[in-house]
Amino acid sequence: MVLSVRIPKELKERMDRYKVDWKKVIIEAIEEKLRQLEAEEALKELERLNEGLPPASAPSWRLIREDRDSN
């Protein structure tokens, strides 16, 4: 797929001063943004799933500790 983007002339001039694989930089930036958006989406889904659950009787760390100590 080809994605074309117009950038300001000044930005292009600044980019030209450096030997950087700008294609790689752009792909990495898009991938990072997608990871961020997907993580936010997953958190929203977890919050939605947790809405109907009653609160725990104790903090989870305490319940885990009690379970480990009982074995």
Contacts of 63 (CB under 8 A, 6+ apart): 56, 57
DSSP summary character for residue 56: P
Domains of the chain: total? 1
For the cut 90, the answer to whether the pLDDT of residue 56 exceeds it is: no
Asked if residue 4 is part of any domain, the answer here is: no
DSSP summary character for residue 20: -
Task: Pinpoint the alpha helices (H) of 17-59.
Answer: 22-50
What's the rounded Cα separation, in Å, for the pair 58 and 60?
6
Query: How sure is the predictor about 26, in pLDDT bands with cuts at 50, 70 and 90?
Result: very high
pTM: 0.69
Range of the domain at 38: 9-70
Contact (CB, 8 A) for 22 and 15: yes
Asked if residue 60 is part of any domain, the answer here is: yes
Mean pLDDT along residues 52-64: 87
Asked if residue 2 is part of any domain, the answer here is: no
For the cut 90, the answer to whether the pLDDT of residue 57 exceeds it is: no
Asked if residue 33 is part of any domain, the answer here is: yes
Asked if residue 24 is part of any domain, the answer here is: yes
Asked if residue 1 is part of any domain, the answer here is: no
